[in-house]
Homo-oligomer: A and B are copies of this chain.
């Protein structure tokens, strides 16, 4: 068993009354002048943004607004935010939205005190040693960015989507009111649950597979999500199940389901190229990639895939045929994705056939031209990744 660090300092205020605490929490964590960062119209339309503004005003906290974050958040918006923060003397960033807004906020937070180009961190040219404090009022359960150390940004100049992880940017607090997720459309809801589950699956398929306590917790979370998602697709205002999903989104990425450093993460890397090139929803892309990844790698550790099939997917264990059981588990996952309205082929995802050249380009970018392999459960070369894209066509 590898040594590990568990560090989840974010103060999570969860529930119907949680938004009321926003001004007190900003003050508690030292904010005096806030960048209020958000995405499109939904936060305005729902009245959430107005409420947060009113509460900050009542709390005597100054703020500047910066909206317009899009899914697969862009480097250009990050740079706009950095300039604005410097100009206005901002000392705290409050992300109102989902993973894209939080990731954009983290990038701005790194960039403000850094003299160089913030993209340096994402391409591995520099390590951040300080950043502005970030916190969030979460509206989309999916990315887990509200408790995680990760931030993923897309550089439009070349459609390059890269992640940067650093414990210093873990949010100071996260306000989570499940009622704010009632209006999430079915597709976003299902894509969010897919992402939540994948954060757990990436850890579950790891180099060692010997951390039973994390594995059993991971299985519990995955099984629970499989139930909850159908409940909220049927009844979007089912508070209890919206709450399970929202809280699971944090647990799936705060490392209680396993050590992120021994997890596989190839599915995420392979998907990042799809969403960078075609600007598709990350969770939907994961549903397309995972079954193909699984079929390509399962022989690496058959018993783990048997365990997944039996303990997570509820497949009857055929003890005489481990491979058959493993494959049934992968098929069951694919059927689950279809049942919740997720695509399971690239064609369904992007609305047309993908070309061989596009696949080659993505596989090459994914391994930075072949010098970097992806995946820890099974190391994947450019050719392997190309084969996985082919399986997923």
* A244 B14 Cβ-Cβ under 8 A: no
When each residue 14-50 of chain A gets 1 if its CB lies under 8 Å from chain B and 0 otherwise, what string results? Answer: 1111100000000000000000000000000000000
Complex contacts, A228 vs chain B, CB 8 Å:
212-213
Residue in contact with A3 in the complex, picked from B5, B18, B212, CB distance below 8 Å: B18
Chain A interface size, under 10 / 10 to 19 / 20 to 34 / 35 or more = 35 or more
How many copies the complex holds: the figure is: 2
Residue A219 contacts which of B213, B220, B240 (CB distance < 8 angstroms)?
B220
List of B residues within 8 angstroms of A221 by Cβ: 213, 216-217
> Is the pair A5, B12 in contact by a Cβ cutoff of 8 Å?
yes
Contact partner, A1, options B7, B211, B239, Cβ 8 Å: B239
* Contact pattern, A 215-229, Cβ under 8 Å of B = 1, otherwise 0: 011011101100110
CB–CB A213/B15 < 8 A = no
Which A residues form the contact surface with B (CB < 8 A)?
1-9, 11-18, 210-214, 216-217, 219-221, 223-224, 227-228, 239-240, 243-244, 247-248, 250-251, 256
Distance between A318 CB and nearest chain B CB, rounded to angstroms = 22
* A10 CA to B3 CA, complexed, in Å: 16
CB-based contact A12/B6 at 8 Å: yes
In the bound complex, what is the Cα–Cα distance between A17 and B248 (angstroms)?
31
Contact between A1 and B256, CB atoms less than 8 A apart: no
10 A-B contacts (beta carbon < 8 Å): A1-B15, A1-B243, A5-B11, A5-B12, A211-B244, A212-B224, A213-B224, A213-B247, A213-B248, A217-B221
What chain B residues lie within 8 Å of A13 (beta carbons)? Answer: 3, 5
A248 vs B11: C-alpha distance when bound (angstroms) = 21
In chain B, what residue has the closest Cβ to A177? B3
Quick check: B224 and A216 within 8 Å, CB to CB? Answer: yes
What residues of chain B lie closer than 8 Å to A248, measured between beta carbons?
213
Cα-based distance from A162 to B135 in the complex (angstroms): 36
A14 to B4, CA, bound (A): 5
Cα-based distance from A234 to B16 in the complex (angstroms):
48
Min CB gap A227→B, angstroms: 7
Give A8 to B3 CA distance when docked, in angstroms. Answer: 19
Residues from chain B with a CB closer than 8 A to the CB of A219 are 220
CB <8 Å contact, B12 and A240: no
Q: How far is the CA of A106 from the CA of B281 in the complex (A)?
A: 47
Closest to A6 in B: B12
Pairwise interchain contact B9-A14, C-beta atoms closer than 8 A: no
Q: Which chain B residue has the least Cβ–Cβ distance from A173?
A: B7
Q: Are A14 and B18 in contact (CB under 8 A)?
A: no
| Interface contact B213-A251, CB-CB below 8 Å | yes
A11 near B3 (CB under 8 angstroms)?
no
Minimal beta-carbon separation of A260 from chain B (angstroms): 13
Smallest Cβ distance from A310 to chain B, in angstroms? 15
User: For the complex, what is the distance from the CA of A15 to the CA of B250, rounded to whole Å?
Assistant: 24
Beyond A211-B243, A217-B220, list 14 extra A-B contacts (CB 8 Å): A1-B15, A3-B15, A3-B17, A3-B18, A4-B14, A8-B9, A9-B9, A212-B227, A212-B240, A213-B224, A216-B224, A217-B217, A217-B221, A220-B220
Residues of B within 8 A of A18 (CB): 3
Q: Which residue of B lies closest to A223 (CB)?
A: B216
- With most chain B CB atoms within 10 A of its CB, the pick from A2, A11, A220, A224 is A220
In the complex, the chain B residue whose C-beta lies closest to that of A239 is B1
Chain B residue numbers with a CB within 8 Å of A240 are 1, 210, 212
* Nearest 10 A/B pairs, CB to CB: A3-B15, A216-B220, A9-B9, A6-B12, A220-B220, A213-B244, A7-B11, A216-B224, A213-B224, A217-B220
Q: Which residues of B contact A243 (CB under 8 A)?
A: 1, 211
Q: Please, how many angstroms separate the alpha-carbon atoms of A217 and B111 in the complex?
A: 38
> Which residues of B are found within 8 Å of A247, using beta-carbon distances?
213-214
Contacts of A4 in B (CB 8 A): 14-15
